[in-house]
């Protein structure tokens, strides 16, 4: 039986959060099986808090030289992944994208020759990257419901967002082209589902079937797991069966964890059906907003203990921390020190920098 703290320490170790690591940005992105990237700058914070000596240009360079891309993958949300993972994982999540389109926009395109639309749409975005608004307008010149057809292309084609979208400091709409055109390589054949599950366990395990499905958005993973030889099995405090790779690390539950700042939409918070290993249900309600925003959080003793944001005005940058309960003086000092390091990374041009603590949230 694995306790909540044991699962917490295992998750933090595999998420590179027990200590900063010497991996390159690309190595970390691949180890994490991608990073949630709905907010274009969140992976920068995610890599900064996990890696030694990470600089914003390290990730910008990967996007500009096409070693990494941003596209809809797990849960049909935008992820930052390596070029290799883009080509291998995108076909694996196709059933999810098909299902979501069918239950969403599917009725609006009934009777349309989808293959004709896909061929036409592919040519449009490969002739020059387009926003979905531009794509819908062009499709609408030939068919009735351009908006729905643009979402058909999102579901059926591997559309990547091209730079400068995703570059820190750049102001740019999301423009898309196909992965095959951008990377000049073909997609995989969709057979990487077993590898995908094993990599998830290595980065997020031990985990239940429901956890795997919550992370990926896919269904039917029990049959996939049954076909994987040599998995380690455990149970959590509620008796739920957990699966793991044989060499998955299980640190001592009492391992000390430094104060950490986790960015918006970080997969640390989004990749399990049972998030108790890192966050209570009460705190989840404060972090997951009604409009779909996942707030940036602080970790104290490895668990979510509050939220943070950076407020910039003129030459001032303040990191505002709102804890969920009273913090000890030592914890405040540790967060203040790490917070100043974060400000130096995120707002280096501001001469007046400060870390501020709000009263504990009620």
Q: Report pLDDT digits (tens) over 109-165.
A: 999 999 999 999 999 999 999 999 999 999 999 999 999 999 999 999 999 999 999
Rounded to whole angstroms, the Cα distance separating 270 from 191 reads: 25
Query: What is the model's pLDDT at position 156?
Result: 98
Q: Are residues 136 and 28 in the same domain?
A: yes
Query: What is the model's pLDDT at position 289?
Result: 87
Rounded to whole angstroms, the Cα distance separating 271 from 201 reads: 11
* Two structure tokens written together for 280: 């209570």
Summarize pLDDT for 203-216 with one digit per residue, the tens. Answer: 999 999 999 999 99
Residue 267 lies in a domain: no
**What is the domain count for the chain?**
3
Query: What is the model's pLDDT at position 290?
Result: 77
Spans in the chain with pLDDT lower than 50: none
Residue 262 lies in a domain: no
CA dihedral 36, 41, 42, 43 (to 10 degrees): 60
Q: Are residues 88 and 142 in the same domain?
A: yes
Query: What is the model's pLDDT at position 292?
Result: 83
Last residue of a domain, one of 141, 157, 183: 183
Report the CATH number that the domain containing residue 290 is assigned in CATH.
Answer: 3.30.300
Q: Are residues 200 and 163 in the same domain?
A: no
> Residue 319 sits in which domain range?
279-357
Rounded to whole angstroms, the Cα distance separating 39 from 263 reads: 9
Residue 226 lies in a domain: yes
Query: What is the model's pLDDT at position 225?
Result: 97
Q: Are residues 287 and 238 in the same domain?
A: no
Residue 64 lies in a domain: yes
Residue 254 lies in a domain: no
Give the residue among 242, 230, 233, 198 at the shortest CA–CA distance from 92: 198
Give the residue among 125, 128, 126 at the shortest CA–CA distance from 139: 125
Q: Are residues 92 and 201 in the same domain?
A: no
Cβ count within 10 A of residue 151: 21
Q: Are residues 42 and 129 in the same domain?
A: yes
Q: Are residues 310 and 171 in the same domain?
A: no
Q: In what order do the strands lie in the sheet with 35-36?
A: 35-36, 78-82, 68-72, 159-161, 176-178
Query: What is the model's pLDDT at position 291?
Result: 79
Residue 270 lies in a domain: no
Q: Are residues 203 and 83 in the same domain?
A: no
């Amino acid at each position: 039986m694995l306790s909540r703290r044991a699962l917490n320490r295992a998750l933090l170790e595999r998420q590179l959060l027990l200590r900063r690591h010497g991996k390159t940005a690309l190595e970390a992105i691949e180890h994490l099986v991608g990073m949630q990237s709905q907010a274009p700058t969140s992976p920068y914070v995610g890599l900064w808090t996990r890696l030694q000596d990470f600089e914003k240009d390290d990730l910008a360079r990967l996007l500009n030289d096409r070693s990494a891309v941003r596209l809809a993958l797990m849960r049909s949300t935008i992820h930052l992944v390596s070029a290799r993972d883009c080509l291998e994982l995108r076909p694996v999540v196709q059933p999810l994208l098909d299902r979501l389109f069918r239950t969403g926009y599917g009725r609006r395109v009934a009777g349309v020759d989808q293959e004709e639309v896909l061929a036409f749409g592919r040519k449009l975005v490969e002739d020059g990257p387009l926003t979905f608004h531009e794509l819908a307008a062009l499709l609408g010149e030939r068919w009735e419901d351009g908006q729905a057809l643009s979402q058909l292309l999102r579901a059926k084609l591997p559309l990547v967002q091209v730079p400068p979208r995703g570059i820190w400091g750049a102001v740019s709409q999301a423009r898309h082209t196909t992965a095959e055109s951008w990377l000049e390589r073909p997609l995989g054949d969709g057979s990487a589902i077993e590898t995908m599950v094993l990599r998830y366990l290595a980065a997020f395990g031990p985990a239940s079937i429901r956890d795997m499905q919550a992370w990926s958005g896919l269904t039917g993973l029990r049959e996939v797991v049954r076909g994987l030889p040599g998995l380690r099995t455990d149970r959590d405090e509620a008796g739920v069966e957990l699966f793991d790779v044989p060499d998955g690390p299980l640190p001592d539950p009492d391992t000390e964890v430094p104060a950490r700042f986790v960015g918006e939409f970080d997969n640390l918070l989004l990749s399990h059906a049972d998030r108790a290993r890192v966050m209570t249900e009460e705190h989840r309600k404060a972090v997951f907003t009604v409009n779909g925003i996942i707030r940036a959080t602080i970790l104290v003793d490895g668990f979510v203990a509050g939220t943070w944001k950076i407020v910039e005005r003129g030459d001032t940058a303040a990191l505002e921390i709102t804890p969920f309960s009273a913090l000890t003086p030592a914890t405040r000092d540790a967060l203040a020190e790490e917070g100043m390091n974060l400000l130096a990374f995120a707002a280096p041009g501001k001469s007046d920098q400060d870390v501020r603590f709000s009263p504990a949230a009620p």
